[in-house]
Protein backbone atom coordinates (compact mmCIF):
# COMPACT_ATOMS: atom_id res chain seq x y z
CA UNK A 1 0.00 0.00 0.00
CA UNK A 2 1.02 3.60 -0.53
CA UNK A 3 1.04 6.05 2.37
CA UNK A 4 -2.41 7.44 1.51
CA UNK A 5 -3.90 3.98 1.12
CA UNK A 6 -2.36 2.79 4.41
CA UNK A 7 -3.76 5.82 6.26
CA UNK A 8 -7.19 5.14 4.77
CA UNK A 9 -6.98 1.50 5.92
CA UNK A 10 -5.98 2.64 9.43
CA UNK A 11 -8.88 5.09 9.61
CA UNK A 12 -11.34 2.46 8.36
CA UNK A 13 -10.15 -0.07 10.95
CA UNK A 14 -10.37 2.54 13.74
CA UNK A 15 -13.97 3.30 12.74
CA UNK A 16 -14.87 -0.40 12.78
CA UNK A 17 -13.47 -0.71 16.31
CA UNK A 18 -15.19 2.41 17.60
CA UNK A 19 -18.21 1.75 19.78
CA UNK A 20 -17.72 -2.02 19.96
CA UNK A 21 -17.21 -3.91 23.19
CA UNK A 22 -13.88 -5.60 23.85
CA UNK A 23 -14.81 -9.06 22.56
CA UNK A 24 -15.96 -7.67 19.22
CA UNK A 25 -12.84 -5.48 18.92
CA UNK A 26 -10.65 -8.53 19.53
CA UNK A 27 -12.53 -10.47 16.84
CA UNK A 28 -12.08 -7.64 14.30
CA UNK A 29 -8.34 -7.38 14.97
CA UNK A 30 -7.87 -11.17 14.90
CA UNK A 31 -9.50 -11.34 11.46
CA UNK A 32 -7.38 -8.40 10.29
CA UNK A 33 -4.04 -10.00 11.18
CA UNK A 34 -5.03 -13.49 10.02
CA UNK A 35 -5.54 -12.15 6.47
CA UNK A 36 -1.80 -11.52 5.99
CA UNK A 37 0.56 -14.25 4.79
CA UNK A 38 3.60 -12.01 4.33
CA UNK A 39 5.52 -11.92 7.63
CA UNK A 40 6.66 -8.30 7.33
CA UNK A 41 3.18 -7.11 6.38
CA UNK A 42 1.68 -9.18 9.21
CA UNK A 43 3.99 -7.78 11.91
CA UNK A 44 3.39 -4.26 10.59
CA UNK A 45 -0.35 -4.87 10.99
CA UNK A 46 0.09 -6.21 14.52
CA UNK A 47 2.11 -3.12 15.47
CA UNK A 48 -0.64 -0.94 14.00
CA UNK A 49 -3.59 -2.82 15.54
CA UNK A 50 -2.45 -3.29 19.13
CA UNK A 51 -2.17 0.44 20.00
CA UNK A 52 -5.80 0.77 18.87
CA UNK A 53 -6.71 -1.89 21.41
CA UNK A 54 -4.69 -0.52 24.33
CA UNK A 55 -4.10 3.15 23.43
CA UNK A 56 -0.33 2.77 23.67
CA UNK A 57 2.11 5.14 21.99
CA UNK A 58 4.34 2.43 20.53
CA UNK A 59 4.23 -1.29 19.82
CA UNK A 60 7.02 -3.78 19.11
CA UNK A 61 6.97 -7.35 17.82
CA UNK A 62 10.24 -9.16 18.55
CA UNK A 63 10.68 -12.52 16.82
CA UNK A 64 13.44 -14.83 17.98
CA UNK A 65 16.14 -15.55 15.41
CA UNK A 66 16.41 -19.34 15.33
CA UNK A 67 19.95 -19.32 13.92
CA UNK A 68 21.45 -16.73 16.31
CA UNK A 69 21.01 -17.02 20.08
CA UNK A 70 19.75 -13.90 21.84
CA UNK A 71 19.10 -12.14 18.52
CA UNK A 72 15.73 -10.93 17.30
CA UNK A 73 14.02 -9.46 14.29
CA UNK A 74 12.06 -6.50 15.62
CA UNK A 75 9.18 -4.51 14.17
CA UNK A 76 8.54 -1.25 16.04
CA UNK A 77 5.77 1.23 15.34
CA UNK A 78 5.86 4.74 16.73
CA UNK A 79 3.39 7.22 15.30
CA UNK A 80 2.55 6.23 11.71
CA UNK A 81 5.85 4.52 10.83
CA UNK A 82 6.94 0.92 11.41
CA UNK A 83 10.66 0.12 11.44
CA UNK A 84 12.12 -3.37 10.93
CA UNK A 85 15.55 -4.35 12.28
CA UNK A 86 17.20 -7.76 11.94
CA UNK A 87 19.63 -9.62 14.22
CA UNK A 88 19.34 -7.18 17.12
CA UNK A 89 19.80 -7.75 20.83
CA UNK A 90 16.52 -7.12 22.67
CA UNK A 91 17.10 -7.30 26.42
CA UNK A 92 13.46 -6.87 27.29
CA UNK A 93 12.32 -9.63 24.93
CA UNK A 94 15.03 -11.94 26.26
CA UNK A 95 13.91 -11.13 29.82
CA UNK A 96 10.32 -12.12 28.99
CA UNK A 97 11.25 -15.26 27.04
CA UNK A 98 13.59 -16.47 29.77
CA UNK A 99 10.65 -16.64 32.17
CA UNK A 100 7.91 -17.37 29.64
CA UNK A 101 5.67 -14.95 31.54
CA UNK A 102 4.24 -11.52 30.82
CA UNK A 103 6.13 -8.59 32.31
CA UNK A 104 5.42 -4.92 32.92
CA UNK A 105 7.48 -2.08 34.26
CA UNK A 106 7.49 1.65 34.93
CA UNK A 107 10.59 3.68 34.17
CA UNK A 108 12.03 6.69 35.93
CA UNK A 109 14.66 9.28 35.08
CA UNK A 110 17.29 7.24 36.95
CA UNK A 111 17.46 3.67 38.21
CA UNK A 112 16.52 3.71 41.87
CA UNK A 113 17.86 1.39 44.52
CA UNK A 114 15.61 -1.60 45.06
CA UNK A 115 13.88 -1.24 41.68
CA UNK A 116 12.63 -4.49 40.17
CA UNK A 117 14.36 -5.97 37.13
CA UNK A 118 11.35 -4.97 35.00
CA UNK A 119 11.37 -1.36 36.23
CA UNK A 120 15.16 -1.12 35.85
CA UNK A 121 14.89 -2.36 32.25
CA UNK A 122 12.20 0.22 31.51
CA UNK A 123 14.46 2.98 32.81
CA UNK A 124 17.47 1.65 30.93
CA UNK A 125 15.52 1.56 27.65
CA UNK A 126 14.03 5.02 28.15
CA UNK A 127 10.48 3.73 28.57
CA UNK A 128 7.97 5.40 30.83
CA UNK A 129 5.91 2.22 31.02
CA UNK A 130 5.72 -1.04 29.12
CA UNK A 131 3.76 -4.28 28.96
CA UNK A 132 5.34 -7.31 27.26
CA UNK A 133 3.66 -10.66 26.56
CA UNK A 134 5.32 -13.80 25.13
CA UNK A 135 4.06 -15.06 21.76
CA UNK A 136 3.82 -18.85 22.00
CA UNK A 137 2.94 -21.44 19.39
CA UNK A 138 0.42 -24.26 19.88
CA UNK A 139 3.13 -26.40 21.51
CA UNK A 140 3.86 -23.69 24.08
CA UNK A 141 7.21 -22.79 22.47
CA UNK A 142 7.96 -19.07 22.75
CA UNK A 143 8.66 -17.59 19.31
CA UNK A 144 8.75 -13.93 20.27
CA UNK A 145 7.39 -11.09 22.37
CA UNK A 146 4.66 -8.51 21.81
CA UNK A 147 5.30 -5.25 23.64
CA UNK A 148 3.42 -1.98 24.08
CA UNK A 149 5.01 1.06 25.67
CA UNK A 150 4.81 4.73 26.53
CA UNK A 151 8.03 6.77 26.24
CA UNK A 152 9.60 8.36 29.28
CA UNK A 153 8.74 12.10 29.28
CA UNK A 154 11.68 14.43 28.73
CA UNK A 155 11.09 16.05 32.12
CA UNK A 156 11.25 12.66 33.84
CA UNK A 157 7.74 12.81 35.26
CA UNK A 158 6.09 9.52 36.13
CA UNK A 159 3.93 7.68 33.60
CA UNK A 160 0.90 5.63 34.54
CA UNK A 161 1.68 1.97 34.04
CA UNK A 162 -0.44 -0.53 32.15
CA UNK A 163 -3.24 -2.17 34.11
CA UNK A 164 -4.10 -5.81 34.70
CA UNK A 165 -7.02 -5.39 32.26
CA UNK A 166 -4.49 -4.28 29.62
CA UNK A 167 -2.42 -7.38 30.36
CA UNK A 168 -5.46 -9.66 29.98
CA UNK A 169 -6.44 -8.03 26.66
CA UNK A 170 -2.94 -8.38 25.24
CA UNK A 171 -2.67 -12.00 26.40
CA UNK A 172 -6.00 -12.73 24.68
CA UNK A 173 -4.72 -11.23 21.41
CA UNK A 174 -1.28 -12.90 21.24
CA UNK A 175 -2.58 -16.44 20.42
CA UNK A 176 -4.13 -15.03 17.23
CA UNK A 177 -0.79 -13.37 16.44
CA UNK A 178 1.05 -16.66 17.04
CA UNK A 179 -1.19 -18.60 14.62
CA UNK A 180 -0.89 -15.85 11.98
CA UNK A 181 2.92 -15.77 12.33
CA UNK A 182 3.15 -19.55 11.99
CA UNK A 183 0.94 -19.45 8.89
CA UNK A 184 3.14 -16.74 7.38
CA UNK A 185 6.29 -18.75 8.10
CA UNK A 186 4.79 -21.91 6.55
CA UNK A 187 3.73 -19.90 3.50
CA UNK A 188 7.23 -18.40 3.16
CA UNK A 189 8.77 -21.89 3.36
CA UNK A 190 6.39 -23.16 0.68
CA UNK A 191 7.26 -20.22 -1.59
CA UNK A 192 10.97 -20.88 -1.08
CA UNK A 193 10.59 -24.57 -1.93
CA UNK A 194 8.59 -23.63 -5.04
CA UNK A 195 11.30 -21.17 -6.04
CA UNK A 196 14.03 -23.79 -5.66
CA UNK A 197 12.03 -26.29 -7.71
CA UNK A 198 11.69 -23.71 -10.47
CA UNK A 199 15.40 -22.89 -10.20
CA UNK A 200 16.39 -26.54 -10.62
CA UNK A 201 14.05 -26.98 -13.58
CA UNK A 202 15.40 -23.84 -15.21
CA UNK A 203 18.95 -24.94 -14.48
CA UNK A 204 18.39 -28.33 -16.14
CA UNK A 205 16.83 -26.68 -19.17
CA UNK A 206 19.67 -24.16 -19.49
CA UNK A 207 22.40 -26.77 -19.19
CA UNK A 208 21.00 -29.18 -21.74
CA UNK A 209 19.92 -26.63 -24.34
CA UNK A 210 23.42 -26.49 -25.82
CA UNK A 211 25.63 -29.58 -25.70
CA UNK A 212 27.82 -28.63 -28.63
CA UNK A 213 30.78 -27.18 -26.75
CA UNK A 214 32.35 -27.72 -23.36
CA UNK A 215 32.99 -23.99 -23.02
CA UNK A 216 29.31 -23.20 -23.60
CA UNK A 217 28.17 -25.71 -20.98
CA UNK A 218 30.69 -24.50 -18.40
CA UNK A 219 29.75 -20.89 -19.04
CA UNK A 220 26.12 -21.73 -18.27
CA UNK A 221 27.17 -23.65 -15.15
CA UNK A 222 29.03 -20.57 -13.87
CA UNK A 223 26.18 -18.18 -14.60
CA UNK A 224 23.59 -20.43 -12.91
CA UNK A 225 25.79 -21.28 -9.93
CA UNK A 226 26.56 -17.61 -9.30
CA UNK A 227 22.86 -16.75 -9.51
CA UNK A 228 21.89 -19.51 -7.05
CA UNK A 229 24.11 -18.10 -4.31
CA UNK A 230 23.96 -14.42 -5.37
CA UNK A 231 27.70 -13.94 -5.97
CA UNK A 232 29.57 -11.80 -8.52
CA UNK A 233 32.17 -14.29 -9.74
CA UNK A 234 32.34 -18.03 -10.37
CA UNK A 235 35.19 -20.37 -11.30
CA UNK A 236 35.24 -23.96 -12.58
CA UNK A 237 38.35 -26.13 -12.15
CA UNK A 238 38.63 -29.07 -14.52
CA UNK A 239 40.49 -32.08 -13.10
CA UNK A 240 42.84 -33.95 -15.43
CA UNK A 241 42.31 -37.63 -14.57
CA UNK A 242 45.17 -38.81 -16.80
CA UNK A 243 47.93 -36.70 -15.27
CA UNK A 244 46.28 -36.48 -11.84
CA UNK A 245 46.88 -32.75 -11.89
CA UNK A 246 44.63 -30.58 -9.76
CA UNK A 247 43.24 -28.96 -12.88
CA UNK A 248 43.99 -28.82 -16.54
CA UNK A 249 41.75 -25.87 -17.41
CA UNK A 250 40.41 -22.94 -15.44
CA UNK A 251 37.25 -21.09 -16.36
CA UNK A 252 36.54 -17.86 -14.54
CA UNK A 253 33.80 -15.31 -15.14
CA UNK A 254 32.31 -12.21 -13.59
CA UNK A 255 28.53 -12.56 -13.67
CA UNK A 256 26.51 -9.46 -14.50
CA UNK A 257 23.02 -8.91 -13.15
CA UNK A 258 21.71 -9.02 -16.73
CA UNK A 259 22.94 -12.62 -17.03
CA UNK A 260 21.12 -13.80 -13.91
CA UNK A 261 18.52 -16.32 -15.16
CA UNK A 262 16.58 -16.01 -11.90
CA UNK A 263 16.55 -12.22 -11.60
CA UNK A 264 13.04 -10.71 -11.44
CA UNK A 265 11.79 -9.85 -14.90
How remote is the C-alpha of 6 from its chain's centroid?
19
Rounded to an integer, the average pLDDT of 69-79 is 87
Give the pLDDT band of residue 265 (cuts 50, 70, 90): very low
Over residues 106-139, the pLDDT tens digits come to 888 776 676 788 888 888 888 889 999 999 988 8
> Which of 105, 96, 101, 146 is closest to 124 using CA atoms?
105
Give the per-residue pLDDT at 253. Answer: 64
Give the pLDDT band of residue 179 (cuts 50, 70, 90): very high
Own/partner long-range contacts of 72-78 (Cβ < 8 Å, ≥24 apart)? 72/144, 75/40, 75/43, 75/44, 75/46, 75/47, 76/47, 77/44, 77/47, 77/48, 77/51
Give CA separation, 123 vs 158, 164, 231, in Å: 11, 21, 44
Q: What is the DSSP letter of 259?
A: G
Give CA separation, 245 vs 242, 248, 251, in Å: 8, 7, 16
Name the strand (E) or helix (H) holding 263: none
pTM: 0.72
Give the per-residue pLDDT at 53. Answer: 85
Over residues 34-59, the pLDDT tens digits come to 888 999 999 999 999 898 888 888 99
Contact residues for 129 (Cβ-Cβ < 8 A; gap 6+): 104, 105, 106, 107, 122, 149, 150, 159, 160, 161, 162
DSSP 3-state assignment of 27? helix
Per DSSP, helices labelled H in 55-132 are 91-99, 117-124
- Is the pLDDT confidence value at 64 over 60? yes
DSSP 3-state assignment of 242? coil
Rounded to an integer, the average pLDDT of 209-227 is 77
Amino acid sequence: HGTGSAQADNAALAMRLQGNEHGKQLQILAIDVSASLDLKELCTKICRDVPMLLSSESCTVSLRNQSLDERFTTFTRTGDATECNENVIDELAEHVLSSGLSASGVGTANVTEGASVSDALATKLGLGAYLAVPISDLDGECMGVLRVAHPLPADGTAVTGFTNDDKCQLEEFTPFCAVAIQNAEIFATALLECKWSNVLLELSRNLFEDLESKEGIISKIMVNAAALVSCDRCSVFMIDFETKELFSELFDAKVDEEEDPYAPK
